[in-house]
């Protein structure tokens, strides 16, 4: 009986495993069948061209190749972007094994600056009516003209790149070069007449209809397109890419940098709180991740972090407002410098900056808060009566910031600046005894327990 039961259980197990294997194979075969059906993959690239969009285009090309797509359509609407990301996307388009149509769409969209290079690099350059392309002349990070020598350097580099793309794709070299040399810009009709783009299409369906039967050269050879009535599948950004786009906003990265620095400095001055340190590290890591997608000037980062340190020092040491003034000035300077570039400037880069209202508002809040802290601390300690002053002598205190020989001690519930009487270093957490008081500075010695 037991043996029969074991055989039944073994048979059922084998049947279950077999059904599971067949089911998995069926799913894989079904997915492979769906993937292999002729289709066009369509994606949207809008906003500033940065490394997030670069990775997005790279993923789309890989997905198109994996799914054996007939065509990849990039719907483009951009004011420009970063040099490195623009070159990365151009390289991906020129070396793609899948035919790519860059479609400046919808109506009212533009392929400005970096978008001109990307559109020209597609196998097919297409525009919707009411769109424009061009204005790829080099500018500085603040939106102004470059100095003569630097302007010549980056202009020649950009012109060489656009001519190379035009030669590869067989488009009008002179007209495309004019977008760099003289910031020329063309409407859809003008671009078509001047052989800057290949087609004008109202929508994706009309685009597919016009591409049908055309031949195109890819990295794998020449392909004749059969696109009439082709199935369209969307390819969207991942949650991570959307998140990176949000934090890569200059204003968000500025706030993350401030909050992150503040949390870490608070934790350093108050070890054991944990919360500020954890929040600070997370925000600071997110800030650096965001700044990696922006043309950051690291001098601005240093000024902002210096402002945070001065804020905490003003509160902890009570610098009579001097540290607060320094914090406010450092914050303003850091905000202005954060996205201002010097030296080699991307010729395709739109103007990045921290919103002036956010910068002035943050600086104003810091200035008012530091003024209040300084005045309150000064008045509180000036109001201490002679009797109370004398009562501090002999009191026990705790070192909250190492005395080497100057530091900070906690007497009761008040924070005081203190120096050790013999110049020795007294570490944080040690108990000390107040020996004398000179204005707002205490002289202390290491506390010796009489027992």
Whether 59 has a pLDDT exceeding 80, the answer reads: yes
237-to-42, 48, 55, 82, 426 alpha-carbon distances in Å: 12, 15, 10, 19, 55
| 390-446 CATH fold | OB fold (Dihydrolipoamide Acetyltransferase, E2P) (2.40.50)
Q: What is the pTM of this model?
A: 0.66
Residue 326: per-residue pLDDT: 81
Higher pLDDT, 410 or 88: 88
At residue 31, the pLDDT reads 44
Question: Rounded to the nearest 5°, which phi and psi values hold at 226?
Answer: -125, 90
pLDDT beyond 80 at 148:
no
Per residue in 161-180, pLDDT tens? 999 999 999 999 999 999 88
HSE-CB for 183 with a 13 A CA cutoff: 8
| Model confidence at 450: pLDDT above 50 | yes
Question: Residue 232: its pLDDT value, please?
Answer: 92
- Give 381's pLDDT tier (boundaries 50, 70, 90): low
Per-residue pLDDT tens digits for 106-146: 999 999 888 999 999 999 999 999 999 987 554 444 444 44
Task: Give the mean model confidence (pLDDT) for residues 275-280.
Answer: 83
196 contacts 176 by C-beta, under 8 angstroms: yes
pLDDT at residue 72, rounded to an integer: 95
Distance CA 241, CA 247 (A): 10
Query: CA 247 to CA 432: how far, in whole Å?
Result: 46
390 contacts: CB under 8 Å, gap ≥ 6 = none
Check whether 446 has a pLDDT greater than 50.
Answer: yes
The residue written with tokens 């010796």 in the block is: 448
> Residue 266 above 80 pLDDT?
no
309 alpha carbon, distance to own chain's centre: 23
Beta-carbon contacts of residue 30 (< 8 Å; ≥ 6 apart): none
In this structure, the dihedral spanned by the alpha carbons of residues 119, 120, 122 and 124, taken in order and rounded to 10 degrees, is 90
- pLDDT of 343 higher than 50: no
Average pLDDT, whole number, for the chain? 79
**Residue 212, φ and ψ in degrees, nearest 5:** -60, 130
d(CA 215, CA 430): 81
Which of 119-133, 265-279, 335-349, 384-398 holds the top average pLDDT?
Answer: 119-133
Task: Tell me the average pLDDT across 361-386.
Answer: 66
Confidence category of residue 99, pLDDT binned at 50, 70, 90: very high
CATH of domain 20-237: 3.90.226.10
CA 295 to chain centre: 9
**Average pLDDT of the residues in 358-363:** 80
The DSSP bridge partners found for residue 185 are 134
**CA–CA separation, 3 vs 25, rounded Å?**
33
Question: What are the sequence ranges of the domains in the chain?
Answer: 20-237, 247-382, 390-446
CA distance 110 to 79: 7
Dump strand ranges (E) for 120-253.
124-127, 132-134, 185-187, 199-200, 215-218, 221-224, 231-234
Q: Dump pLDDT digits (tens) for 180-228.
A: 888 889 999 999 999 999 999 999 999 999 999 898 888 888 889 888 8
Angle 55-212-46 (CA atoms, 0-180°, nearest 5)? Answer: 30
| pLDDT band at 387; cut points 50, 70, 90 | very low
| 83 or 125, which is more confident | 125
| Mean pLDDT confidence for 295-316 | 80
């Amino acid at each position: 009986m037991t043996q029969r039961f074991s055989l039944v259980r073994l048979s059922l197990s084998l049947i279950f495993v077999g059904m599971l294997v067949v089911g998995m194979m069926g799913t894989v075969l079904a997915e492979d069948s769906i993937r292999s059906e002729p289709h066009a993959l369509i994606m949207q690239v809008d906003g500033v061209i940065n490394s997030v969009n670069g990775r997005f285009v790279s993923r789309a090309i890989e997905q198109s190749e994996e799914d054996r797509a007939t065509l990849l359509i990039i719907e483009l609407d951009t004011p420009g972007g970063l040099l490195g990301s623009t070159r990365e996307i151009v390289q991906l388009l020129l070396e793609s094994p899948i035919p790519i149509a860059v479609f400046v769409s919808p109506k009212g969209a533009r392929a400005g600056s970096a978008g001109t290079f990307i559109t020209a690099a597609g196998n097919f350059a297409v525009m919707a009516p009411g769109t424009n392309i061009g204005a790829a002349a080099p500018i500085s990070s603040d939106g102004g003209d470059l100095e003569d020598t630097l302007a010549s350097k980056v202009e020649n580099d950009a012109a060489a790149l656009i001519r190379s793309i035009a030669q590869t794709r067989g488009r009008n070299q002179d007209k495309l070069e004019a977008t760099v040399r003289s910031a020329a810009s063309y409407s859809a009709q003008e671009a078509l007449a001047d052989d800057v783009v290949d087609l004008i299409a109202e929508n994706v369906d009309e685009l597919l209809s016009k591409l049908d039967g055309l031949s195109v050269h890819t990295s794998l050879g020449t392909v004749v397109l059969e696109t009439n009535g082709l199935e369209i599948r969307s390819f969207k950004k991942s949650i991570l890419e959307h998140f990176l786009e949000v934090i890569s906003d200059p204003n968000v990265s500025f706030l993350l940098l401030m909050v992150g620095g503040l949390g870490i400095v608070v934790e350093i001055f108050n070890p054991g709180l944990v919360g500020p340190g954890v929040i600070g590290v997370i925000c600071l890591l997110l800030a650096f991740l965001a700044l990696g997608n922006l043309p950051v000037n690291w001098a601005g980062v240093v000024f902002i972090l210096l402002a945070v340190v001065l804020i905490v020092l003003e509160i902890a040491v009570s610098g009579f407002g001097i540290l607060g003034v320094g914090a406010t000035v450092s914050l303003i300077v850091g905000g202005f410098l954060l996205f201002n570039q010097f030296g080699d400037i991307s010729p395709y880069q739109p103007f990045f900056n921290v919103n002036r209202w956010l910068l002035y508002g943050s600086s104003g809040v810091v200035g008012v808060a530091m003024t209040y802290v300084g005045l309150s601390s000064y008045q509180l300690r000036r109001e201490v009566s002679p009797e109370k002053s004398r009562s501090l002598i002999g009191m026990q205190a705790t070192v909250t910031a190492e005395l080497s020989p100057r530091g900070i001690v906690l007497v009761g519930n008040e924070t005081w600046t203190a120096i050790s009487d013999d110049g020795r270093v007294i570490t944080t957490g040690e108990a000390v005894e107040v020996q004398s008081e000179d204005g707002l500075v205490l002289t202390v010695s290491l506390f010796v327990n009489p027992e």
